[in-house]
Amino acid sequence: MARRFFVGGNWKMNGTKESLEELITTLNTADLDDQTEVVCAAPSIYLDFVRSLLDPRIMIAAQNCYKVAKGAFTGEISPAMIQDCGADWVILGHSERRHVFGESDELIGQKVAHALENDLGVIACIGEKLEEREAGTTEEVVYAQTQVIAENVNDWEKVVLAYEPVWAIGTGKTASPEQAQEVHENLRAWLRANVSDDVADSLRIIYGGQP
């Protein structure tokens, strides 16, 4: 069966109710392909607001969540809270979470497990830094990151893997289609060898840097 196209937009720490309402109006009037799954990742404080206005054909994602359901974790949000706002997805392992906020592979894996256990779809991000690409260790880095994610997945149908080279995010640099495709091809080979043929064939792998 052919993989359904997946397009995600991460709004990051941007927007006000006024500006987001303008963006939502544009999205609601867009000519969307029914065969493409569209997901918008809004700031957590606006998840409810966005869901109330955005066309139901467009899914909502949170940009992060924690590894447990509740507790004394100031500033964090749980999968249950995300779902309570009407969102269906969460982005985990984004390079900014890894390299700005210091999240480890282990923590990201724990978050992936908890999100999936609570029926959230997971957009799991992997990618190498510029010095790693220049050192020729791109595959080594993304395989290690993918390994930890794979160890925590109980349902691959609810996972999208986003390859986002760190050096192509907010730097003005872009990965060429050939560079992205090479990593995607290598990731499918890794999945075939380390997970299963079915997952290697069916998993949606997207490019997560700037176009």
**Mind telling me the catalytic residues?**
94, 164
Per-residue 3-state assignment (H helix, E strand, C coil) for the chain: CCCCEEEEEECCCCCCHHHHHHHHHHHHCCCCCCCEEEEEECCHHHHHHHHHHCCCCCEEEECCCCCCCCCCCCCCCCHHHHHHCCCCEEEECCHHHHHCCCCCHHHHHHHHHHHHHCCCEEEEEECCCHHHHHCCCHHHHHHHHHHHHHCCCCCHHHEEEEECCHHHCCCCCCCCHHHHHHHHHHHHHHHHHHCCHHHHHHCEEEECCCC
The radius of gyration of the chain from alpha carbons, rounded to an integer in Å, stands at 17
Residues 6+ apart with CB under 8 A from 178: none
